[in-house]
Amino acid sequence: MSALASTALEVLEQQLTQPLVASLEVCARCGICAESCHYFLADPSLENVPAARGEALRRVYRAEKDWLSRILPGWTGAEKLTEEGLARLAEMAFTRCTLCRRCTFNCPMGVDTPLLMRTVRAMATASGAAPEILVMLADAAIEKGKNPEFFRDVFLSQMADLEGVLQEKVGDPGARITVERPGAKVLYVGLSGTHTILPPAILFHRAKEDWTLSIFEAANYGVFLSDTSRAKQIAARIIEEAKRLQVEEVVLAECGHAYAALRWDAPNWFGESFPFRVTSLVEKTDEYLAAGRLQLNPQANPDTVTYHDSCNMARNGGVIEEPRRILRAAAAKFVEMTPNRTEAYCCGGGGGLVAQPDYNELRLQGGKPKADQIRRTRAQVVVAACENCRLQLGDLNDHYGLGVRLSAVADLVVNALEPPLAQPLS
Amino acid sequence: MLWVFQAVTLLGFAFAAAALIWRWRATAQLPLVRDRATPRGSVARGTLYAFTWGMAPWAKESTRRHALSYVRGIGFHLVIFLDLGLVILSPWWPAWSGPVRDVLALVSGLGALLGIAGILMRRLEPNLRALSTFDDLLAVGLVTLFQAAWALALAWPWVLSAAYLVATVMLVYVPLGKIRHCIYFFFSRRFFGTFIGRRGAMHSTGSAGFASREASQ
């Protein structure tokens, strides 16, 4: 056995928890999961059946762990892991599964195929078979966390400029964007680019929130690699920052995987419950509306609006009704896609796929069910509370000629603020 | 002479039970990370849903789409447990009235037909055929044979010895092959229920009747 395969098997052995073994053992191969996968809907071939993907790892597991399979591998389809086999597994896990969990919700057994694919990703990452671009993006974030002073001055200068823009937009020369201010109640963590900072800054200003801005980005590419060590290092930057500033709440930008990572996974990576709340900007905005801290005029957004449920926000995060309450308050006409909520289709860009240009064609093909859904709504605006989803939806918009406009939840809310801004957002 | 077959079947039961208990314990001893994230919903509610309403044919898109196939599977599995009960109670059969035995024979026979339908589906649907291993076919074949044998034994007592043998072979295979998924079902559904309950991502309003929500305003 090659060293790479051996490393991968060591990782598999380490990851054999109760949930993983249950998902490896319980599948009855009934194939009922097939149509729950957006890849299968776009291309109904065997390799796009979730059970077939899971089976690829099960064969390896059986060859190592099942008594009958070790004696008679052909009986159960067991297969020893080879370097070529690992490469095939890795490609499948990184490109043919967006970890959306739609198949899990549709499986009568509850098989967690995304957990199996995460395991394969972890095996591939440890043995050097993960996509280089994802490794590079994760490592770049880790380096940034190690040396924040390198970019602090540039960031502060950018935020000073943005503060001027904020003051013009809200018509208040006293409006502030503070960075890492100790004692603030809320620490907002944006993404790369001011488009994820200005609209929230406007909302925080209007809601009279005591907030400050993180110098880090919420994105966590370690999650896509299923590399807990990298993911922890990336998350640790924000957690340490929040603890140092003694904030009560960390509010994350509209980003599905960042939310899943910091809200749901990080407490388990670090083995602690954090001394602060972790919420999404969507949840926070919903709270502001419920508390009457934001007033909206839905007529300010007269176009028909629909909402795309990010898998990490909805199915994997439970943020399902909040965006709907917001959009009903912020838009004159809100229509649902069918199906929606926990049954929504993945856009096809999840799991880090949107960051892998080599698989653009596959990604666009996998997004066809979502494109069809959008078209059926006849909406003019598609709102998504996830940056990766919006990137993918933008590509689907161009590729399938949907003729829609894409928006974050916050952008639509800012546009509907009552009284209106001194200057429109765009 | 029948007692010999009964004793062998009893040994089969003992082997299957011991091996399944061993597997259950071995799995339960594997690590299970304590979830420290603040829950959004109720784990108890999610778990209850996963084992009850969440198993209903209308609860999931997949089972709505494949309703016939799903109901076939449910029926097939229910008859397995009925037949296992019949095996245990078989020494007392003579005391049962003819009509009771006839009904039970019909139900068992129906289970076997559902099993045959399952085998045909595995052979005829291309993706399902490609997914199936020899273990899959043997497992469903053995269980189908078990149901057929006990249906026949209920109708014609002289088949009983053969039915005991079939039951023994099936019971011995239970922990060795795919049939052992019967214990992992409980682990898997529990983890699914915990996940959706904790994260507040229940199917709830998101499943049945979604079409009516297409236009909300």
pLDDT in tens, A71-85: 999 999 999 999 999
| Residue appearing with tokens 């395991």 | A119
B30 → closest Cβ in A16, A34, A51: A16
Q: Using CA atoms, how far apart are residues B189 and B48, in angstroms rounded to an integer?
A: 10
Q: How much is the average pLDDT of A268-287?
A: 97
Contact B210 A110 (CB under 8 A): no
ipTM of the complex model: 0.96
C-alpha span between A339 and B205 (Å, rounded): 11
Residues 99-118 of A with CB under 8 A from B: 104-112
Residue A205's pLDDT is what?
98
Chain B nearest C-alpha distance from A98 (Å): 18
Mark out the alpha helices in B156-212 (DSSP H runs): 160-173, 181-199
Query: Cβ of B27 and A17 within 8 Å?
Result: no
pLDDT at position B207 is: 41
The two tokens of residue A337 are 């896609």
**What angle, 0 to 180 degrees and rounded to 10, lies between the N-to-C axes of helices A281-290 and A198-206?**
20
Sheet-wide strand order for A249-252: A211-213, A186-189, A249-252, A277-280
Determine contact: A322 vs chain B, CB below 8 A. Answer: no
CA-based max dimension of chain A: 77
Using alpha carbons, select from A81, A38, A34 the residue that is nearest to residue A59: A81
Mean pLDDT computed over A401-424? 98
CB contact under 8 A, A106 and B61: yes
Which residue's structure tokens are 């909805």? A314
Where does A295-416 sit in CATH, by number? 3.40.50
Give pLDDT, residue A7: 97
**Smallest CA–CA distance from B72 into chain A, residue:** A30
Give the mean model confidence (pLDDT) for residues A297-315. 98
Spatial separation of the C-alpha atoms in residues B63 and A108, rounded to whole Å:
8
The first and second tokens of residue B30, run together, are: 């594997």
Residues 6+ apart with CB under 8 A from B70: A32, A108, B57, B62, B63
List Cβ neighbours of A85 (8 Å cut-off, separation of 6 or more): A5, A60, A79
Q: Identify from A29, A39, A346 which residue to disrupt to test chain B contact, counting B C-beta atoms within 10 A and taking the largest count.
A: A29
CB B216 within 8 A of CB A334: yes
Percent with pLDDT over 90 in chain A: 97
- Are A255 and A219 a contacting pair, CB within 8 Å? yes
pLDDT (tens digit per residue) in A99-123: 999 999 999 999 999 999 999 999 9
Token readout for B126 is 């291309």
Average pLDDT over residues A149-171: 96
User: Is it the case that residue A307 has pLDDT exceeding 60?
Assistant: yes
* pLDDT for B212: 32
Identify the three-state secondary structure at position A379. Answer: coil
Taking residue B43's Cβ as centre, other Cβ atoms within 10 Å add up to: 17
Domain with CATH 3.40.50 in chain A: 135-289, 295-416
Q: Would you call A30 an interface residue with chain B, using a CB distance cutoff of 8 Å?
A: yes
Rounded to whole angstroms, the Cα distance separating A416 from A425 reads 10
pLDDT in tens, A350-377: 999 999 999 999 999 999 999 999 999 9
Amino acid at the residue A22: A
Report the C-alpha gap between B32 and B15 in whole angstroms.
28
Q: What is the pLDDT of residue B213?
A: 36
Q: Give A31→chain B minimum CA distance, Å.
A: 6
Q: Is the dihedral of CA A360, A362, A363, A364 positive or negative?
A: positive
Search chain A and give the residue with CA nearest B70: A32
pLDDT tens, chain B, 217 aa long: 899 999 999 999 999 999 999 999 999 999 999 999 999 999 999 999 999 999 999 999 999 999 999 999 999 999 999 999 999 999 998 888 889 999 999 999 999 999 999 999 999 999 999 999 999 999 999 999 999 999 999 999 899 999 999 999 999 999 999 999 999 999 999 999 999 999 999 875 444 333 333 333 3
Q: How far apart (Å, rounded) are the C-alpha atoms in residues B42 and B52?
A: 15
Instruction: Name the DSSP class of A342.
Output: G
SS3 A153: helix
Residue of A378, A380, A373 lying closest to A407 (CA atoms) = A380
Architecture of the structural domain at A135-289 = 3-Layer(aba) Sandwich (3.40)
What stretch of H or E contains A165? helix A149-170
- B28 lies within 8 A of chain A by CB: yes
- Chain A residues in contact with B201 by the CB 8 A cut-off are 314-318, 320, 342
Residue partners of B186: CB distance under 8 A and separation at least 6: none
Q: Report whether A408 contacts A254 (CB < 8 A).
A: yes
**Torsion A301-A307-A312-A314 (CA) sign:** positive
H/E stretch holding A407? strand A405-407
Mutate to test the interface with B, among A336, A372, A373, A381 (most CBs of B within 10 A): A336
pTM of the model: 0.95
DSSP state of A354: G
What pLDDT is recorded for position B148? 98
Q: pLDDT, tens digit, for every residue of A195-241?
A: 999 999 999 999 999 999 999 999 999 999 999 999 999 999 999 99
Q: pLDDT > 70: what percent of chain A?
A: 100
- Token representation of residue A309: 């449920």
The candidate with the shortest Cα–Cα distance to A333, out of A373, A297, A303, is A303
pLDDT of residue B204: 54
Angle at A320 between CA A315 and CA A323, to 5 degrees: 135
Closest CA to A295 of A389, A207, A380: A207
Q: What residues does CATH 1.10.1060 cover in chain A? A: 3-130
Please give the class, per CATH, of domain A3-130.
mainly alpha
Q: Are strands A249-252 and A186-189 parallel, antiparallel or unpaired?
A: parallel
Beta bridge partners of A296: A417
Q: Which residues on neighbouring strands pair with residue A382, listed in sequence order?
A: A306, A406
pLDDT for A145 equals: 86
Between the alpha carbon of residue A70 and those of residues A63, A79, B55, B128, the distances in Å are 6, 9, 34, 24
The answer to whether the beta carbons of residues B189 and B50 sit under 8 Å apart is yes
Contact A45, A29 (CB under 8 A): no
pLDDT in tens, A230-252: 999 999 999 999 999 999 999 99
Rounded to whole angstroms, the Cα distance separating A199 from A412 reads 9
Nearest by CB to residue A32, choosing from B37, B69, B205, is B69
B97 to chain A, any CB pair closer than 8 A? The answer is no
